[in-house]
Amino acid sequence: MNAQPKVAIVGATGAVGVEIQKCLEERQFPLSGLKLLASARSAGKKVEYAGRVLEVEELRPESFRGVDIALFSAGGNVSREYAPVAAGEGCVVVDNSSAFRQEEDVPLVVPEINGEAALHHPRNIIANPNCTTIITLMALYPLHIKFGLRMIIASSYQAVSGSGQHGIAELEQQVRAIVNGDPVVCSTYPRQIAFNVLPQIDCFTDTGYTKEELKMLNEGRKIMNLPELSVSCTCVRVPVYRSHSISCVAQFERPVDVEVARACYAGMPGIALMDQPARGEWPTPLDATNGDTCYVGRIRKDLAIPNALSLWVVGDQVRKGAALNAVQIAELLIR
């Protein structure tokens, strides 16, 4: 891989695409050129990057000639159509959709956990995991090293920005309508999201779990290389603009100790301990928003399950849950 690659962002005008640009610039990613790709309706838009003005181009099959790394964030249909095209041009694709995550010859990577997997990509495609999975595993991986992870029982509290700009707009519109006494209109979500919580994200499967909930199971096993890992998850949409939170019970192979568990986070990249409940210090979505760090707190021995810890973790799902993770994978490729 070229030490100063030419990079393309597919879905450059979307929320994650814009965040990818910020991450590249803030981290001073050593690119030799940046190509911004989007749909025809966004083509021609002007974007400022590192003091330069770039023009968004329409995504076409020939867009990837001469590109070394393509960061995709335009949805599964676009990825399924264009990622193989880009890979065929010799470009390494880092894909943020779920299109390739469970394919055996496509690595699924969280750099702090299994970064070495990114170096073996026979199809020139690397998958970015689901945002909730990333944030949860960032908190559990340091504990896994010490105690050996066996089972996860989790409930997520996922922000409306996980639905894109439409989710944010709907929350704002509904809050305004309720305050003004106007009728509440639902379009993005099946039920009112303002001052409410919705226990459904993505569509239901025959198991009674949603596709979002099964991602924690399937992706967790692959990322952690734990094929027997047991996972039960309930994903809930909450009226928060940005950053996801997860309440988690994790059972381990070996006996656990709370103080030892807290010490596991010392020096671990991307995750920080915020756990002084007597002083009112525990993580909230606002603590993580617009930042690169996930925060973990409320660590305690579970009262019902042996060798288990209960904990609370938050992270910015647009940053670490999507854009930042993709950029970190690209950094591994040039390193």
Catalytic positions, written as ranges: 131, 244
Pairing of strands 33-38, 6-10: parallel
Q: Phi and psi for 128 in degrees, rounded to 5?
A: -90, 130
Secondary structure class of 294 (helix, strand, coil): strand
Distance (Å, whole) CA 224 – CA 54: 39
AA identity, residue 271: I
The one-letter amino acid code at 241 reads Y
Whole-number Cα distances in Å, 74 to 99, 226, 266, 328: 11, 30, 36, 19
How far is 47 from 183, CA to CA, in rounded Å?
Answer: 37
C-beta of residue 132 within 8 angstroms of C-beta of residue 156: yes
331: DSSP letter: H
